[in-house]
Amino acid sequence: MAVLSAGVRVRASKYYGWSRLVIEEPSTEALQILEEQVPATEIKVQVIELSLDFECFNAASTSLTIQWLGQHVVQPYGRDRLINFKGTRYCSRRRWRGQGLKAYIRPQERSVVRLEWTIRSVTTLRAMGIERPKDVISIDLRAFWARRLKLKQIDRRALLRQFRRHHKHLSEKQARRAIELWFRALQNGEDREPAAQDAVIGLRDQRWVNQRTAIPTIPNEPLLPG
């Protein structure tokens, strides 16, 4: 797997005539033309989709890549378990109106896996300083993904140690059995291991677990765009 490219998709509304404009992976030149040709009072950015593409070598590599991303990517402050729907893995509800993260295989290029962050909240966009097409040009995609791309991995041994420390009345065999049943309950579809997103959500209210050590963070540097 190799980082192929990073891009952005823009949806903007033109206020006269209630028309909507969608630009697929616009170039800097296209955004500049839009900025210059349309008055500031007539167009506002409403939705942006920031993408990170990974080039895979074959079908097996593509499948492993999307499975790995599904197991390790965690949406910050997420409230929903991982959702598998028609080959796409969602870290939040599919029609969530705020922010959402998903991973899928690009239909046009079956060897490319795309990680896509959608921001539908106008409040969030304005807080990021994004209102006009020119504001999209200035987005630093590497810095964006460096802040937002959270990768975590479940540490079974750490979980077992913490569980036994809190449930001292259980034998080691009983504790292992309890952890194994919990893992099975979190398994999503055909995945052999539960997703880190599901573990973070499932353990959020458990006082016995220290998530920093039981679900440690993985460095995201190898997955960042150049």
Per residue in 152-171, pLDDT tens?
999 999 999 999 999 999 99
> What total of structural domains would you count in the chain?
2
pLDDT value at 66 more than 90? no
> Which pLDDT does position 13 carry in this prediction?
65
Mean pLDDT of 22-51: 81
Q: Are residues 100 and 29 in the same domain?
A: yes
**Final residue belonging to a domain, choices 122, 151, 180:** 151
Select the more confidently predicted residue: 158 or 16: 158
Judge if 25 and 52 occupy the same domain: yes
Q: Of the residues 105, 130, 151, which one is the last residue of a structural domain? A: 151
Say yes or no: 86 and 176 in one domain: no
CA distances 95 to 35, 83, 99, 100, Å, are: 29, 12, 10, 9
103 and 196 assigned to the same domain: no
Shared domain check, 9 and 27: yes
Q: Are residues 133 and 93 in the same domain?
A: yes
Residues 88 and 137 in one domain: yes
pLDDT digits (tens, 9 = 90+) for 106-139: 766 778 888 888 888 888 889 989 988 889 888 8
Residues 122 and 140 in one domain: yes
Instruction: Give the end of a domain, one of 112, 131, 151.
Output: 151
Q: Which residues of 79-109 are buried (b: 16+ CB within 10 A; e: fewer)?
A: ebbbbeeeebbbbbeeebeebbbbbbbeeee
Give me the pLDDT at residue 177, please: 93
Residue 184: give the domain boundaries.
Answer: 152-223
